[in-house]
Structure 1
């Protein structure tokens, strides 16, 4: 993948965002950085994680800056930040870069915030950086008609929870990299072998997921799909835990949290036109939404039954993470792990 091309194409295609004055822009950036720092204390108190670690400074970016950060993170994550390919490989890599750049341009208008565990923080020099996409947060708070100061802190509560998850449990980053290595490994299959495997999978009575997940299940080898499933389960846990923390902390720190949550959930579930539905399916955005819903239900039930301290056993090692049959039946995880 030519990540330089991806960054260039993504920045060129990314939309500028809502119209704001320079004063409003700078004020929003400053408020977001301050909100991220404010969110650290309550998130640590509720989760019981990362106590005593330094509080890093978040980065408030525009859409083009986010594209640059995303390409840097993805190249590091995939181990492709070395020498550029040459010959035919260079052409293939550039085509891939154009595709990736177009996808990142679309996502640059949708991402509110992101914790990136694969990049170096330019201020602290440590691994991991918290990114907040300023124009998207401004556009969303305007669309929802919510109090900007409250909404900005609410978003930061979610993203800071991700930062705390990885800071308190550094093994999560290596676990992700190990699974990504399996997903991106050359299987050595010939075209005939791939077609034969796909044909057998289509004819098989083995249950398959729906939508993009089912497509991944067909296209990947069993080993790759197992790694993909492990990544999906981790993502479901991380997002559900962050949403749980948002709702646990929100009432004490965000005065209009009920209005924000109601408006935000309605926005997530609003009808989409056919083109939007197709894009969402191809990019896995519906699967991402399911992660929030299923993950939060899992965390809510476990914490209600055993408390946050015992729930935190989930962060011990890969074997204590929830399995696919446990996400929707949390008691199974409690019985196995606790």
Structure 2
């Protein structure tokens, strides 16, 4: 997933199968219909455009998503011969509807099992989620969603989404060539689609870890407090910020699942950024100026409210995923080549471990 400041996707042995995650554990606690409805009312309007400009941008983005497929497949060596799907070019309110549906599906395991009457707690959760959806609806440029049905229905999982007003807004802000910027964004998002279509096990891998993260630990309040106290007093190193807080509050099994999710997300984002830059010079004439302007924007200063929101929803951690992940992929590919790098997509066991992301030679030694 691309944001203008910045897709994360897990069947490790012993993990609870995603289909066993009953809706009443997580999905039914949030009224996603309410979340989408309020989120759309809270969402800010996009940049002003004439109908002609909007229609032209929509057509160009749809075309760019198709044109990006060939170069991405050639560079990655993935998804060769598979059909080229149609991307969805969305307005902000349409993205909110799609995101709410995807989250409900992902967290409930299956839409048909979700409780249609989530109750008071579900409505409270929906109101909380609405603010997040509204905020993200103006930040996300594109997203590959592996949990929603594609154009061909249930037998075609996954859909590529591009948020038109956000892409137009950023290209205007950066003063870049619109056609080049649109293709550049599509190269990143199409790489995510190719990652999942070429490696279908990734979707179940993610769902299995989400099942662990959302399962009930069975701990009493006293047991939780005791475990947190022991961790605070112990010598075991802990992460900083939001991740450190989650490490304290989660069971060891849940924190391991979180780490697997983070490592996969780092790999996926870094791989997409690597491919985007590898393909860019041949396909996007102004790629150097786009990359410089985009990186300056997403690492630039923010006002205090933006900094708080970014920290709470993990957008700064997301940015770190791009940087660490791309450095990992760059080094491995330059050392062993893309064909041998693609061993990484074999199984959960070939995914990079936390200490290997920053020291790619360790991954090469262990896996290759």
With 312-321 and 270-279 compared, the bigger mean Cα shift is at: 270-279
Residue 79 of structure 1: how far off its partner (Å): 1.6
Matches of 1:112 and 1:148, distance apart in 2: 14
Contact in 1 for aligned 2:86/2:151 (Cα 8 Å): no
Partner SS for 1:18: coil
Structure 1 residue aligned with 2:193, among 157, 163, 175?
163
The answer on 1:84 being equivalent to 2:120 is no
Q: Note the alpha carbon deviations across 1:2-39, whole angstroms, 9 max, x for none.
A: 11111111111111210111111111111101000000
Q: 1:85 to 1:201 in 2, by over 3 A?
A: farther
Match of residue 11 from structure 1: 40
Matches of 1:63 and 1:188, distance apart in 2: 39
Contact in 2 for aligned 1:233/1:324 (Cα 8 Å): yes
Partner SS for 2:146: strand
Structure 2 residue aligned with 1:298, among 317, 328, 333?
328
Matches of 1:268 and 1:56, distance apart in 2: 29
Match of residue 173 from structure 1: 203
The answer on 1:114 being equivalent to 2:133 is no
Match of residue 326 from structure 1: 356
Q: Note the alpha carbon deviations across 1:196-234, whole angstroms, 9 max, x for none.
A: 222222222211111111111111111000000000000
The answer on 1:274 being equivalent to 2:304 is yes
Contact in 1 for aligned 2:144/2:161 (Cα 8 Å): yes
Matches of 1:234 and 1:184, distance apart in 2: 18
The answer on 1:210 being equivalent to 2:276 is no
Matches of 1:212 and 1:123, distance apart in 2: 39
With normalisation by structure 2, the TM-score equals 0.90
Where in structure 1 are there 5+ consecutive unaligned residues?
A: none
Partner SS for 1:38: helix
CA RMSD across the alignment:
1.1
Partner SS for 1:25: helix
The answer on 1:98 being equivalent to 2:98 is no
Partner SS for 1:78: helix
With normalisation by structure 1, the TM-score equals 0.97
The answer on 1:317 being equivalent to 2:347 is yes
With 70-79 and 149-158 compared, the bigger mean Cα shift is at: 70-79
Residue 123 of structure 1: how far off its partner (Å): 4.3
Partner SS for 1:164: helix
Which is bigger in relative contact order (C-alpha 8 A, separation at least 6)?
Answer: 2
Residue 161 of structure 1: how far off its partner (Å): 0.1
Matches of 1:224 and 1:168, distance apart in 2: 28
How many residue pairs align between the two structures? Answer: 336
Q: Note the alpha carbon deviations across 1:278-302, whole angstroms, 9 max, x for none.
A: 1111010000000000000000000
Match of residue 34 from structure 1: 63
Q: 1:17 to 1:217 in 2, by over 3 A?
A: same
5 Å matches for 1:168-207? 168-207=198-237
5 Å matches for 1:221-232? 221-232=251-262
Residue 55 of structure 1: how far off its partner (Å): 0.1
Match of residue 50 from structure 1: 79
